[in-house]
Structure 1
Amino acid sequence: MTSPLRKVRPPSRSPEQSRKALAAAVVGNFVEWYDFAIYGYSAPVIAKLFFPSSDQTTALLGTMAILGTTFLFRPLGGIYFGRLGDRAGRRKALATVVLLMGVSTVLIGLLPTYASIGALAPVLLVLLRLLQGFSSGGEYSGASTFLSEHAPQHRRGMWAAISAATTTLPFTVAALVVLFLSTASPQAYTAWTWRIPFLVAGPLALVGLYIRLRLEESPVYQELKETGPVAQSSIGQVLQHYRHEVFLVFSIASLNGVGFYTVSSYVPTYLTSTVGLSETAALTTNCIALCVYSVLAPLLGRFGDLHGRRAVLRAGAIGLTVMAVPAYLLIGQGSWATAVLGQLLLIGPLVAVASVVAIAQVELFPTQIRYTGAAIGYNGAYAIFGGTAPFVGAFLVARLDSPVAPAFYLLAIGVLSLLVVTRFPETSRLPLNRQDNQTWP
């Protein structure tokens, strides 16, 4: 049962403070997700270097499985950083997140390969990817919470969608970096330059850490602290009193996770390993699709501010479900143009869902447990569904030998999500500074 809420006066926020928070969140978000994205685009070379070379299909599945296991630690990271953000402040949690991501990414770039240390190589790779997953568990919900609490109420959907867009731009940059290095000298790339994108994460993380440490805490959280000691709620209590809200976030984030990681992490590999496009062609088509995502996200976020979250979410869920099979039919045709068109068929409805996920996970919870509640629902969905999308796609292709096989997973999740979307509440007019009157022990 949801606990009683207390509404308080809107928090004061200066336009300059809000703009600084927006700029800092964008830069910090970019740094965090560049570090996380580079692994997906390096999957083909990692499969060659960190697994036995006798069976490349098995090696690729192993690489995708490691990508999936990363997401298993996202709920743990979400719980840890969610509680840290609710107890000690959003700023402290987000600074810790970007530092941990930077360290683990640099260490991946320094790992010896299978040829050097044998089976220990993929083991160490898994451990570092789990650290990345733990870090990323605190990023998206935390950044969305922090930015939305700084945003003007009538534009918070657009601001949260800008945060979503800046999680996509790093994937584009990561793809371009890998494309440049792999085409400039394929031999050098396989030998050593594949490490460069991972090592770049070090200075980027320091930049992100510096920016986040200079931020002011959100006015909504500052107001909460001024009313008295911050409540020390447990995970069990959050799930007991806000399980319905957590389930709603889990449901819509599941569809968003499968859709996003299908496009961003699996489609480039699918185009090269299954369709037969060159790596250059595959990555350029994906960059175009992700750039369109980044442009559309703030627009659909603003549309949700004006017309409500529910209508945007419903349109996106229906669109992803209907377009899954046609999109893969186009992607599998084997040409550059159809690969772009197929991905764009998915991008439009995907952005609609993503723009709502970015803000609704914040609006559904009161201030005291907002970071924790959002992180549990969001990262639980990504652990079960989002992280498995690349592996399931590769597995279905291997087993069914059909160009549309990866679409079946997206289609199934889309149908299940529609059952929840029809009952999703309208959250766009709820005040973010509402407080929970529940007395936590």
Structure 2
Amino acid sequence: MTYNQNPPAETDIAPIANSGNLELKRVVSSAALGQFVEWYDFVVYAYSATVIAALFFPSVDPTAALLSSLAVYGVGFLMRPLGGIVFGYLGDRIGRRNTLSAIILLMGGATVAIGLLPTYEQIGILAPVLLVVCRLIQGLSAAGEATGSNSFVAEHAPQNKRGFLVAFTYAFANLPPIVAALLVLLITNVLTPDDYKSWGWRIPFLLGAPLALVGLYIRRRTEESPAFIKMRATRGIEPMPLSIAFRDYKKEMGFSFALAALSSLGFYTLTGYFVTYLTVTAGLDRNSALISNSFALLIAFFAMLLGGYLSDRIGRRKTILLGAAISTLVCIPAYMLAGQGNLFAAILGQGLLALALGLFFGPVGIAFLELFPTRIRLSGAGVSYNVAYTVFGGTAPLLSAYLVLQTGNKLAPAFYMALVSIVVFIVALYLPETYRKSLVHSEDEA
């Protein structure tokens, strides 16, 4: 059952729907910069994992302390299913723009709080407890970003460019790790080790405040999605969007989960684990590890654009199958190269993996959104997507490190990723093609 909640007059819809290239550029730039701010705040923790382990989880065993630090990294993902529910509901009820504004403020506040936290030496066990709380808030916020930003762009974009424009927005998630890595690299090389451990590590976190305010300003200058406005005016707001998703769109939620499984595992392996893998397992110095990881993420950025472009030409399904197949083939060779312990091999190995995964990431951002009607899009896609990110993305750094530790095999994480790639490829064989389908489904215009 649905009802109209203050539906706007038709004259209110037309200026937005016909706002042209200027409004579209504003929406895409706001979403892309919003993604940058959001994911900078979320991933900067991973690049400070070693010092956080020493300051918040003191232990006679450095490996145990590092695993504890990575476990807290994963804790942020525990809130993602809840965040998917909360922000999916808000996005489907009050609109995409207002929800995205709340998301970026929440993330910025939690990130700054981490930068201000006292250490274990100062307040004891309360320090790691507060760290966990901040990570939980970050996880809640991150849950709404990918589905919210991508949906906002998709619902403004012309049909024949949806894949590329969403991929462009989504690809900006690859740039914050580069900036965070280079910033940490700069700080660790400018400061003495004692100064970095004492206060320098806080700088990247404190930068979350101005970044969040800039992102908020940009987002407030955009208009609400035409698809959402049209749905609200014709069908009305759905009072229980998640219930409808579970009742009528179970298959679509399953596809969304599968696509997000490889997407999250690949992204958080590159951004959350590979620097640790190169330094701890492969014996590469930290500077080289950060530099090589930045090159890989830059490759992933451009590969995502290619994937999005191809999905507008040959379809989402074919491009996703291509990306999953290549990922399956290159996982093990990529890890073998990266594990050689020198800068050139690290760049080559990670770059190979980033190219394959980026090609897969590109069409995923739009494909799982097109499966759902506008009235439940953020709820249906957000929950299934974020459950997968909790299961596969949140565990990626910790599980990868654990597999190497338990098996003694440096390639253990590669076998795991290859297995996930194969399963996702099989599921994607049954994925419906949606690239020529309107985002306003018939169910949105009852």
Q: TM-score, normalised by structure 1?
A: 0.95
Query: 1:187 offset after TM fit, Å?
Result: 2.3
Cα distance in 1 between the residues matched to 2:370 and 2:136: 29
Structure 2 gap segments, 5+ residues each? 1-13
1:306 aligns with 2:313: yes
The reply to whether residue 84 of structure 1 matches residue 87 of structure 2 is no
- In structure 1, the residue matched to 2:345 is 338
Counterpart AA for 1:251: A
Q: How many pairs are equivalent?
A: 431
Structure 1 alignment gaps of length 5 or more? 1-8
Are 2:123 and 1:117 equivalent residues in the alignment?
yes
**Contact 1:11–1:223 under 8 Å retained in 2:** no
Rounded Cα–Cα distance in structure 1 between residues aligned with 2:376 and 2:388: 18
Q: CA separation in 2, counterparts of 1:228 and 1:380?
A: 29
Residue 421 of structure 1 corresponds to 428
2:150 counterpart residue number: 144
Aligned to 2:5: none
Distance across 1 between alignment mates of 2:433 and 2:116 = 48
Deviates more, 1:138-147 or 1:43-52: 43-52
Indicate the residue corresponding to 2:370 in structure 1.
363
Compute the displacement of 1:436 (Å): 1.6
Counterpart in 2 of 1:204? 211
Aligned to 1:167: 173
Q: State which of 250, 260, 265 in structure 1 corresponds to 2:257.
A: 250
Please report how far the alpha carbon of residue 62 of structure 1 lies from its aligned counterpart in structure 2 after TM superposition: 0.7
Structure 2 equivalent of residue 385 of structure 1: 392
Task: Tell me which amino acid in the other structure corresponds to 1:171.
Answer: P
- Matches of 1:98 and 1:25, distance apart in 2: 11
1:265-286 Cα deviation digits (max 9, x unpaired): 1000111112111110000000
**1:288, 1:85 → 2: CA distance?**
35
**In the alignment, does 2:99 pair up with 1:71?**
no
Over the matched positions of the two proteins, sequence identity in percent amounts to 46
Deviation at 1:341, TM superposition (A): 0.9
Aligned to 2:37: 31
Tell whether the 8 Å contact from 2:282 to 2:340 is kept in structure 1 after alignment.
Answer: yes
Distance 1:183 1:193 in 2: 11
Runs of 4+ that moved beyond 4 A: none
- Correspondent of 2:160 among 154, 168, 175: 154
State the Cα distance separating 1:252 from its structure 2 match. 1.1
Shift of 1:355: 1.0
Offset at residue 181 of structure 1 (A): 0.7
Q: Give the aligned CA root-mean-square deviation in angstroms.
A: 1.6
Aligned residues of 1:101 and 1:135 also touching (Cα < 8 A) = yes
Do 1:79 and 1:375's aligned partners in 2 also have CA atoms closer than 8 Å? yes
- In the TM superposition, what are the counterparts of 1:287-302 in structure 2 within 5 Å? 287-302=294-309
The 1:326–1:33 alpha-carbon spacing in structure 2 relative to 1, beyond 3 Å, is same
The alpha-carbon deviation at position 234 of structure 1 amounts to: 4.2
Q: Is the 8 A contact 1:141 1:375 kept in 2?
A: yes
Kindly indicate whether the alpha-carbon contact (under 8 Å) linking 2:304 and 2:360 is maintained by their aligned counterparts in 1. no
380 and 438 in structure 1: CA distance in 2 versus 1, 3 angstrom threshold: farther
Deviates more, 1:9-18 or 1:311-320: 9-18
Asked if the contact 1:389/1:409 (under 8 Å) is kept, the reply is no
Structure-to-structure mapping, 1:154-233, within 5 angstroms: 154-185=160-191, 186-233=193-240
Aligned counterparts, 1:125-136, within 5 A: 125-136=131-142
**3-state SS in 1 of match to 2:155:** helix
CA distance in 2, matches of 1:27, 1:380: 25
1:351 aligns with 2:358: yes
Contact 2:231 2:445 in 1 (8 A): no
